[in-house]
Structure formats: C-alpha cells, structure tokens
Structure 1
Amino acid sequence: MRLREVEEVLLDPGIAVSYQTVHRWCRKHALNKRRRTRRKVAELVSGTSMKS
C-alpha cells in the first residue's frame, strides 16, 4: 500500500494525517520491528534468550 493510500484510508474515519506523517511512522516502527526480528532470530539460532 502506498503512503498516500494509507493517508486516504485513515481519512475515512476522520483521522487527518499527511503522507509525510505516515512515512515517519513507518520508518520508526519498521526499524523497531527489524531489531526485534533480528534478536528473535539470534535467540533461535543460539538456543538461548538474549533478554536482560
């Protein structure tokens, strides 16, 4: 889905955001998701938990 399409979908229920806001949100949360995924893969490979 394109960023402008997300903007339009959010506009339907009355949530007004710009595509730039959607872009920033996606970049921020994609980075966090990537970090969690890498940590989980490392745990599965090593067989141990990396939690503190």
Structure 2
Amino acid sequence: MNLRAINTELALLLEAALGISANIWLKLQADYNMQVAKADSSFMNRLANIRKIAAML
C-alpha cells in the first residue's frame, strides 16, 4: 500500500471535501510522525546523546 503524508494542501482539500478541519488532519499527521520517530531506536539514541550534552551546558 502506498500511503501519502498529509501536507497542508491535502489537509485543506480534505477539509473542503469532508468538512473536517484541516487542523485536525495536520495534527493527526504530526502525531503519527512523532510515533514513528519515537519507534526509531537509532534516532532515540541520537536524541539521548543531545540531551546529555545539553544537560552539561
């Protein structure tokens, strides 16, 4: 299945077609993106390293 991210233009098109606020579509996409990032162990290790460095400042 080829899924497409919801961008601003698509969110506005969905709002026009379905009457569901574009902001809701964009928030759903942002929430999904956050879940994907948090599931990436490599990224989370990188984030932990940045937090360690920032704590030393």
Q: TM-score range by the shorter chain?
A: 0.3 to 0.5
| More helix per residue | 2
What's the TM-score once normalised by structure 2's chain length?
Answer: 0.43
What's the TM-score once normalised by structure 1's chain length?
Answer: 0.46
